[in-house]
Structure 1
Amino acid sequence: MSDWPSLDWPAWRETAIALQLRTQIIGKVRLALTPWLNHSWHVPLYVSARGLTTSAIPVGDRILEVDFDFRHDRLIFMTSDGRSRGIGLQAGSIADFHKAVVACLTDLDVPSAFDGTPSEMPDAIPFAEDHAQRPYDAEAARAFWQALIRISRAFGEFRTGFLGKASPVHFFWGSFDLAATRFSGRTAPRHPGGVPGLPDDVTCEAYSHEEASIGFWPGSDAYPTAAFYAYAYPSPAGYAAAKVAPDAAAWDTTLGEFILPYDAVRAAPDPQAAILAFCHATYDAAADLAKWDRDALECPLGRPRVPRVVA
């Protein structure tokens, strides 16, 4: 077994759900303050040396940055005028966390009005009304972060092999997953919407162009296992039957996606190579079946200090 951390969804479920709700509160702060960017790229968080970060959020002539510091169990608010505030990441209610976030923003003279309802979660309770006491397992949160560090490295390397439009490697707080997407450059049929907890106009804009996505989530009640996933939109004919790698990867008819269990990657002799094999195989299937212009869109994977050769 490699040094990749164990991610046992049932064991850290309560902490994971509490952490998802907390990341949603901070994500919605960013959403309220940032101009819309295609495919909702203005709202995700990013893996950082501390944990997860919003990156720079514009606030008039200043910048706000909010970091989940999993090393020191803190949520840190920083502004470009040198001020900062912090909240402990610990057991407690989402209502109390929400109240503390609003107080920090107010103290920093940052607008504190944002959407107060969770997204993409069943039976959502407004943050300010969620008074249930929730645990916080700091070691489990750190293990999740350490997994994200390793996975973002593999996704980032895969991203270097594409010349066309491609997303950053980013963490979506609604679905609580790390993702990266490649685009063919062609528009896609209008998405039918209907995603629970997500407005149809957001869904339709997110899937406005033909894409092939890869991602990772730590599990959920609907799928209580940490896993990598891959899908194409629109899904080309024959995609579900495509042969993909590594051997542990398979099409899940319920989810409508290829799935690679995290534990299979963790047990692989070279976990990074296993992730890259999954990325390449699922993308290859989507691009070939949908007849993407691969010669124009692709390039060799990047290497440090070696410029891409241009003919």
Structure 2
Amino acid sequence: METFPAMPYDEWVDTKDTFHRFAQIVGKVRLAASVRRNHWWNVPFHLTGRGLTTRPMDGFCIDFDLVRHRLVVDRLDGRSADMPLIGQSVASFYAGLFDILDDLGIHAEIHAVPFDLADSTPFAEDTKHAAYDPALITRYWVILSQVAQVLERYAADFCGKTSPVHHFWHTFDLAVTRFTGRKVEPPAEADPVTREAYSWEVISSGFWFGDEERPWPAFYSYTAPEPPDLTEHKLWPDWAAWIPSGGSHLAVLRYDDVRQADDPVDTALGFLNSAYRAGARTTGCDASGLASPDGVTDPHLRHSH
């Protein structure tokens, strides 16, 4: 199996747009039913051996089985129900999920409109988005799984406060965030999502599948709040770049460039580490003190190496 299979944005944008809304519906149930965690760590999905999971919530769990292409709802009392993902519009998916929840005695109230998407048609009315190509969705999950292993390897070298490797359903990216240990005061005018996400200084890294503005998948990194002179630090490899994004900058390495490298995994890791070093130097983060090479903090093991 190819480590990083091709995923041209134009080839799967219709399926992506539909599944993104499926994910937001389930994600909003997760948001409503889970215990709140710092920086919204309760909200994202985690990967499984077959797809994505909300993880257990208040007596139930929802999984996307992207091998069988089914949505599965399990109760902790052993009851279970599922429905197909293939052949659904957003409206029918929304209705089918809430029928299952009702049948299982699960009550969840959500704000049933897309979050931060250009087309904000309420889920119950959205019959336009109805594309679901199972081959493309399986490839999406394979890429998520492979990229997650790269991010886990990257995360291993840092022993400070760090997020899990998790899949944000609202922005449709896979991310891991390192915290420098410095608290910040987000702008009062910032929305509540942003204020909680960025109440500490972060160097965040991940992968996203592209959008209309940038129709190509890519690895990325950013430092927030962005320190002065961040973009003056060189990225690796040479074809990585700092690009403007919402008043700050993203370090970006396109996925297709990684795929063509002699060693794609080492190339992705090298890029992520170069972007982290830029953020660490410009924030004054104690990169040496927060290092755990190969995931090891035991001084006896470290000295033996």
- TM-score for the superposition, normalised by structure 2: 0.93
Give the Å deviation of 1:191.
4.0
| Residues 1:187 and 2:183 are matched in the alignment | yes
> 1:197 matched to which residue of 2?
none
Seq. identity, %: 37
Rounded to whole Å, the distance in 2 between the matches of 1:296 and 1:308 is 10
Deviation at 1:36, TM superposition (A): 1.4
Deviation at 1:84, TM superposition (A): 0.8
Alpha-carbon separation, structure 2, partners of 1:119 and 1:254: 19
Q: Secondary structure at the match of 1:296?
A: coil
Instruction: Give the Å deviation of 1:93.
Output: 1.7
Match of 1:286, SS state, is helix
1:13 corresponds to: 13
Q: Against the structure 1 CA distance between its residues 192 and 258, is the aligned structure 2 distance closer, same or farther, given a 3 Å change threshold?
A: farther
Q: CA deviation at 1:308?
A: 3.4
Q: Select the residue among 276, 285, 291 that pairs with 1:292.
A: 285
> How many Å separate the matches in 1 of 2:261 and 2:188?
38
How far did residue 281 of structure 1 move?
0.6
Residue 149 of structure 1 corresponds to 145
Contact (CA 8 Å) 2:33, 2:108: kept in 1 or not? no
Aligned to 1:274: 267
Instruction: Give the direction of change, closer, same or farther, for the CA distance of 1:204–1:266 in structure 2 (3 Å limit).
Output: same
Instruction: Provide the rounded CA distance (Å) in 2 between the counterparts of 1:21 and 1:153.
Output: 25
Mind listing any 5+ residue stretches in structure 1 that lack a counterpart? 195-199
Aligned residues: 298
Q: State the 1:3 CA deviation.
A: 4.3
Q: Of the candidates 210, 226, 237, which is equivalent to residue 201 of structure 2? A: 210
Match of residue 92, structure 2, among 68, 75, 96 = 96
1:283 matches 2:276: yes
* Partners of 1:191 and 1:122 in 2: CA distance: 25
Amino acid at match of 2:258: V
Aligned counterpart in structure 1 of residue 107 of structure 2, from 108, 111, 131:
111
Q: Tell me, what secondary structure is at the counterpart of 1:211?
A: strand
Moved more, 30-39 or 290-299: 290-299
For residue 48 of structure 2, what is the aligned residue in structure 1? 48
Q: Is the CA contact (8 Å cut-off) linking 2:159 and 2:297 kept in structure 1?
A: no
Alignment of 1:155-304 (within 5 A): 155-191=151-187, 200-254=191-245, 256-302=249-295
The answer to whether the 8 A contact 2:17-2:129 is kept is: no
Q: Deviations over 1:131-156 (max 9, x none)?
A: 22521111111111111111100101
Deviations 1:121-176 (A, max 9, x none): 11311111212252111111111111111110010111111111000000000000
Q: Post-superposition shift, 1:278?
A: 1.3
Counterpart residue type for residue 223 of structure 1: R
Deviations 1:260-305 (A, max 9, x none): 1001111112211111111111011101111112232222122xxx
Of stretches 281-290 and 184-193 in structure 1, the one that deviates more from structure 2 is 184-193
- CA offsets 1:225-263 (integer angstroms, 9 cap, x no match): 011111000111111121111222111124620111001
The letter for the 2-side match of 1:260 is L
- State the AA in 1 paired with 2:223: A
SS of 2:288's equivalent in the other structure is helix
Structure 2 unmatched ranges of 5 or more = 301-305
Give secondary structure in 1 for the equivalent of 2:294. Answer: coil
Q: 1:191 to 1:212 in 2, by over 3 A?
A: farther
1:242–1:25 CA distance, 2 compared to 1 (3 A): same
The amino acid that maps onto 2:270 is A
Matching residue of 1:78: 74
Q: Which amino acid is 2:73 matched to?
A: F
CA separation in 2, counterparts of 1:182 and 1:254? Answer: 20
**Cα distance in 1 for residues equivalent to 2:180 and 2:129:** 46
**Cα distance change on mapping 1:193 and 1:25 into 2, 3 Å:** farther
**CA RMSD of the aligned region, Å?**
1.7
Residue identity opposite 1:217 in structure 2: W
Q: Which residue of 1 aligns with 2:303?
A: none
Aligned with 2:135 (options 132, 139, 144)? 139
SS in 1 for 2:35: coil
Q: 1:122 to 1:193 in 2, by over 3 A?
A: farther
Whole-angstrom CA distance in 1 between matches of 2:184 and 2:255: 30
SS class of match (2:91): helix
Q: Aligned partners of 2:84 and 2:38: how far apart in 1? A: 33
What amino acid is aligned across from residue 234 of structure 2 in structure 1?
A: K
Inter-partner Cα distance in structure 1 for 2:189 and 2:39:
14
Structure-2 change in CA distance of 1:13 and 1:85 (3 Å) = same
